[in-house]
Amino acid sequence: MIRSFSIWVLITIMFFSCQFNQKKSVENHDLFQKSTISKPISFDLDAIKTRDTLRAIVLSGPTSFFVYKGESMGFEYDLLQQLAKELNLSLEIIVAPNFNVLGEWLNSGKGDIVAHNFTPTKTRKEKFTFTNYLYLTKQVLVQRKPDNWRNLKLHQIENMLITDAIDLIGDTVNVRKYSSYKMRLENFMEETGGHIHINEVDATLTTDELIGMVAAGDLKYTIADNTIAEMHAIYFKNIDVSTPISLSQKASWVIRRNAPQLQKALNTWIQKLRKTTDYYVIYNRYFQNSRIIKKHVNSDYYLTKTKQLSPYDDLIKKYSENLPWDWVMLASQIFQESRFDPKAQSWAKAQGLMQIMPSTARELGIEDTSHPEESIKAGTFYLLKLWNKWDTVEDFDTRLKYTLASYNAGLNHLKDAVTLTKAEGLDPNHWQNIEASLLKLTYRKYFSRKDIKYGYIHGIEPVNYVKEIFERYNLYIQLLDTAE
């Protein structure tokens, strides 16, 4: 195990159960290794719009994408939300387990874009297309301060550190194979005529993890973008990230080489985006606000590190055993209802974690709907009751969507949607047909029909309710998988 476990537990992505110098079974390659990547499929913006969904590949990390107290956050995540809105598309986030799969997932069509900060280089451009830059960064040396640094004066600490890149000559620096950091070190040696030993570490390791290993004393040096390094220095107080290795470099996203429509749309959007206040609010939130970043990463509810979504996970797991679906789906619904706030109350006076209506609480004999366990107990009891009402729906996911929509909008409105779907000659076993009927029941032409018994419904609410619960569930599952 790693020596300084008390420091190492702060690593933001995953825990290691073996020594760093043990070889992993996976091959050392990353996004830009040519020999392991398929030719890009032909799937440009017109096809993406036909599909109606933009698929973005991300890596989880304390600035790019993470879940905190059940809510999805991150610089890339927030920008992707804006991009999808700009393109009038739904957004599907695909969390990659490591760098190894990025290029293959992109070119094979699993995703349309890799939303991660990459530096465009001549070699990389031979294989992929890079967007306009989202921000400028520079590479810095990450090194550990002396063990007694707290007892030293600033000039004494500086005297014991590398303060000029030229002093790395003759020493060893640890970077990922094929990374821009390795390329920069090679260029530096060419420029200076000196030799730096480059130790190529396992390509599955992220920059976040390498920084943590320097902080723990398992590595002497690594290289990182200053935006990432400075963020880590907030909670790894024993590292120094002040020594530059490069001049300013562009940080861009990556798309397939044969997607000119998507490239044009992205570049136009980025050019406009960088001039907006929203962009700087998002940038400062994740790269400048040290207090917030530290709060997120050190929280018990930083999902990738702790596998905890909320203070109520044990209760959610307990009562989900009464349901045919897993606790993570129930957790996603509870976040949708109350954002895990037991004191939440809606305009309709629904209360608690699962937003139990007063009439439902009376029916179930619940006196205090703000009590977390009582709320979850009542909510799961009601969910199971609704699930059993839809026993004629054969497909599991479709039946679950019926159940969730009934919880949100009421069982009778879903029955009306089924009636309308059948009246129009469509199959109610296909959820998209029920979605369409729910949306139609917003309009008098449909809710005033004689066969519609329960009238008007603001149909977009249950449609979005179900959609967002499923989307959030998929994100939770992906991040829980990467945390294992």
Active site residues: 337
| Secondary structure (3-state) at 302 | strand
| Secondary structure (3-state) at 244 | strand
Strand-pairing partners, residue 176, are 201
Rounded Cα distance between 93 and 55, Å, is 6
| Secondary structure (3-state) at 126 | coil
Token pair belonging to 479: 């991040």
Length of the chain: 484
Crossing angle of helices 372-389 and 327-338, in 10° steps, is 110
| Residue matched to tokens 């390329």 | 183
CB atoms under 10 Å from CB of 73, counted, come to 18
Alpha-carbon Rg for the chain, nearest whole angstrom, is 26
Name the residue among 176, 173, 175 with its Cα closest to residue 203: 176
Concatenating the DSSP letter of every residue in 350-380 gives -BTTTTB-HHHHHHHT-S-TTSHHHHHHHHH
| Contact yes or no for 385/437 (Cβ under 8 A) | no
Alpha helix (H) residue ranges in 172-326: 180-192, 207-215, 226-235, 260-273, 277-287, 290-297, 303-306, 313-320
**Helices and strands of the chain, counted as H and E runs:** 22, 13
- The residues near 321 (Cβ < 8 Å, ≥ 6 apart) are none
Rounded Cα distance between 305 and 32, Å, is 28
Backbone angles phi, psi at 409, to 5 degrees: -105, -15
Annotate 191-215 with three-state secondary structure: HHCCCCEEEEECCCCCHHHHHHHHH
Residue 270: alpha-carbon gap to chain centroid: 20
| Contact yes or no for 454/74 (Cβ under 8 A) | no
